Amino acid sequence: MALYFLNASPETVQRGALDGNLPPVLTVKSGDTVIVECVSGSPRAMPAPELGFEVPRALQAILDMPATNMSGHILTGPVAIRGAEPGDMLEVKIEKIDLGAAWGYCAFHSGTGSLPEEFPYGHISHISIDLKRRSCALPWGPELSLSPFFGIMAVGPRLEYGRLSSKEPREFGGNLDNKELTAGSTLYLPVWVSGANFVVGDGHGVQGDGEVCVNALEMCLTGTFKFILHKGDGPNNPRLRFPRAETPTHYISMGLNADLNLAAKQAVREMIEFIGERTGWSRAEAYKSCSLAVDFRVTQNVNGEKGVHGMLQKGILF
């Protein structure tokens, strides 16, 4: 099993878009591990020099690229897994997440967030990070412990979709903004294109469920990922329709839809399917089990396609 390092650079990132037609920048085998450098920011989000924060070289090089129509999330990849084909499942083990800078930022912008009518302007705060203590000091007083994760993890979308914004999550993953996906967790993604073509970015230092103002603590992170491919006809492939996840303590289903009610319905259906696969119980029994033992939470409410996730604690039902 090989170990690779993928730097963030003008040659290895894409901005603001997901596209199953993009060629990979790295190809690995199932079982290999890749350390992926990710950076976050835009010219208007960079801290003023007098704040004394150092901008990572990789981020500055990307921001110095000639002006193009590219904007939005900075995503590193794609990473192709040799032999992956539509109908397969990609298991992404998030083995480690390292902090990439001693600062991050949180902002809201006119017309975005959960309350655009009450905040019809933009505002940004740059936030100092203590790398040793893994905490951040908010300019208005409190200190928060960090719980870093990647807002975006995705495989290549179906080819017929063409180029998509990275803002809306869908069945290929994307801007899930699920704060549960910290180091030690596993994300399961259905494969839609040859190679799977995994991308990652949108580093978050800490976030509450909902991400209500449209930003978490946006920051640079480096993730260590182990990729395991499950073939479509293999015994360990449930032939997913939507992403699922697993933490050391919980199983997670996901629902994604522009209508929050429909996102919740999807998260419940996915959990019913998962419970049935594990137990052989009827759909009626699994449905009642969801009501008795599963917590359904709003993942995010601000990215067009809203998210709901179901949390089933391990050891409760099986």
pLDDT band at 226 (very low <50, low <70, confident <90, very high): very high
pLDDT digits (tens, 9 = 90+) for 74-98: 999 999 999 999 999 999 999 999 9
Domain residue ranges in the chain:
3-231, 249-318
The CATH architecture that domain 3-231 belongs to is Sandwich (2.60)
pLDDT digits (tens, 9 = 90+) for 8-27: 999 999 999 999 999 999 99
pTM, two decimal places: 0.96
Query: What pLDDT is attached to residue 147?
Result: 98
CATH class entry, domain 249-318: alpha beta
Displacement of CA 24 from its chain's centroid (Å): 19
The yes-or-no verdict on residue 307 having pLDDT over 80 is yes
Q: Which residues are within 8 A (CB) of 77 and not within 5 positions of it... i.e. 6 or more apart?
A: 6, 12, 13, 14, 24, 25, 26, 36, 197, 198, 199, 200
